[in-house]
Structure formats: C-alpha cells, structure tokens
Structure 1
C-alpha cells in the first residue's frame, strides 16, 4: 500500500482541495434521501396528498403525479441543503485558503499527499466559545472515496489534535451532519463526544429530520 505524508497546504493545491471538499460533502445526499423517505411523517404526507388529489379529481393518474411531485420536491430540498452549503463554503473560507487559514493566528490547513496526489485535507481555526474556553474547530476534513480505509482521516484528525495541544487550546470542536456516517464513526473512535444536536438553518430541515452534530474533544484532561 502506497504511503502518504501530511504537509501544509500550498497554493498549487487550490483547485484539487476545493474539488475534494465539494465531492466529499455532496456525496452524502443519497443517505439523506433514504433517511427522509424512511420517516413515517413523510409517508403520511404522501398518503394525504394522494387521497386528497384522488377525492378532488377522481383521477388515479393525477393522484400519482401529485405523489411524484412530492417525492421530487423532497429530493430537491435534500440536495439543495448539501449544495447550498458547498456554494457558501467555496465563496467564503474556501475562496482564499491561504488568507483564511495560513495567514491567521491559530489557524492552519493541511493536506495528505501520496505519490504527488492529494488524498485528504483538514483545517483548524479558533472557535469562539461563549464561556471563554480556548477552543479550536476542526474543519474541512475530507478523504476521497478511493483513498479511504488507509487511516488517512485518522491521521489528519491527529494532526489537528497535535496542533491544538502545541498551541495551548483546551478543546477541539467540530460540526458534522448525522448523514456523514463514516466521519461520525471516526470521531467517536478517536474519543470525540457529542455535546449537542441541532437542525441547520435551511428550509424544512426539522421536517426532514436533517440533524447536525457537535462533537468535542477535551485536551485539558490529557495534560
């Protein structure tokens, strides 16, 4: 198995890193769709629309079309949540990675490289905790599918943990969706604990049960 090494981000990585990030986020919408269509409330809605259309029009075809429209709308809402997040990220912190991560105090951005190919990425940025705790946020962790199972994600997380310890942070926090199951399992294996859950600020996330998780890894206890 080809080895890899972790290094600081370089400007020549720009387009590859942005592509890895976008693909890493949007690949999860099929999982979100399956979750949506497993919800009893969704099937109650589908049945109600079907019966209402059938009673109103008396047409089985029209009722079926109405149900198809419901499925289409729910699918588009799910997809839009992921793609909206990607668009926003690419237009903000991921627009100028050097400025936002390498030229700011307490921040950093790393990539994993194997035989000249970028096979993973992760970033760290100070996180303003309301209680005054000195925290850093683990962000933009992503490993392309074909390179998973090699311990790259784990190594990238440990890079952030080492950086946080050396920088004097008290804890590491991160935010991910429940649908990113591989990432959720990785964080739990590394000792991160779920401290909160919430519905992101997009339309219908509560109805779709689209849940985001906040994880925390305490460094104080390790010192």
Structure 2
C-alpha cells in the first residue's frame, strides 16, 4: 500500500481514522506510518476504533512520534504550489461516552472552526463519520473527507452502492464515493479494511486520490 500511495505523488496524505485499534498490534500501524511519512505530510484524525481501544492519547502520541500531524478540533495551514490550504480535523464523536462525558462535541466543533469563515483559502475537513454530513455542512469547509462505512460491505454493480454500514444501517446513503451538496463536497473512502467475518463483496479496498486545480476547484 505504501508503494501505491507513493505512486500517486501526493502533496499531502489524509488519514480519516481507524488506523489502530485494540485488536491488532500497533506496530503494524507504525510500519505503515514510517513508510508514508517520507512521501508527504500526513494528517490524521481518530476513528471509533482508536477511541474504543481506550488508549486514544497513547495512540495519538505514537503517531506524533512518527511525524504525523494529529488534528483534534484543530486546523493547520499549508501552502501547495503557491496556493493556501487549510486542513482541519475532529476526533471521533465516541470520544464523548468513552473519554469526555462532559464534552459538547458538536458545539466544540462549531467553535473551533468558526474563524475560518474569514480565511481566504481552500478548506478541507477530516472527520471519520460520513453520516454526520448535516453537521459538517454548517462549517466553513469546501471538502469533507470521511471513512467508517467500509463501502457498505456489499456492492451490486449498477444497482446497489452499499448494503450495510456502521451507524447508517441497511442501504446506507453514504457508503462510499463523492457526494455533492450545495455547501460542500463530501468524499467517503471505502477504506482498506478486511475482516473475514464481514466479507467485502464487489467492494475492493481503495485509497482515494484527489486532484484540486489551481483555482481551488476539485475534480
């Protein structure tokens, strides 16, 4: 997978969560991060599996030690080909019941990015959960990158884009692909996960390559 990412020659690499969990050894994630951090700057947000591990802060620190920029209701500015971009990210909302019961997750997200309304830049949000798009649409971002849905597990070509996805249930609306809203573009990766108990049928793993032209419009 590292070789495939390198072949895309990316300017940045975005990881939208579920890179580590409480089942597989974290050393596998570390090897992956070591492989990609020399390709381009890496930006990361947690998914539900990092939160469920109850080792969220430990995992974040491991990622930071490998040169990853961890986004936690924060954003970073980057210049690519003389164009200004802002990349923001939020923790998975399961951080509330698992670690921060007093946290107002939607409110903190809104407050953290409110000043971006006055920024002249192309803005990108990383957030693991695609089903929360109605919240993201209220934020001053041009593009949202999500995961979590695993492509809906089963695809029937030309008929069904996904059968079942976490937190969306049967026939998920946001199983994977590009979704155009009036305020925002939403891109949902089908991810690269594999679980023999939940087979992927006509739903191959994927990494997503996104091109943004010099005027700030994406294709």
State the TM-score, normalizing by the size of structure 1.
0.33
State the TM-score, normalizing by the size of structure 2.
0.33
Instruction: Please state which structure has a larger fraction of its residues in helix.
Output: 1
Larger Rg: 1
More RCO (CA 8 Å, sep 6+): 1
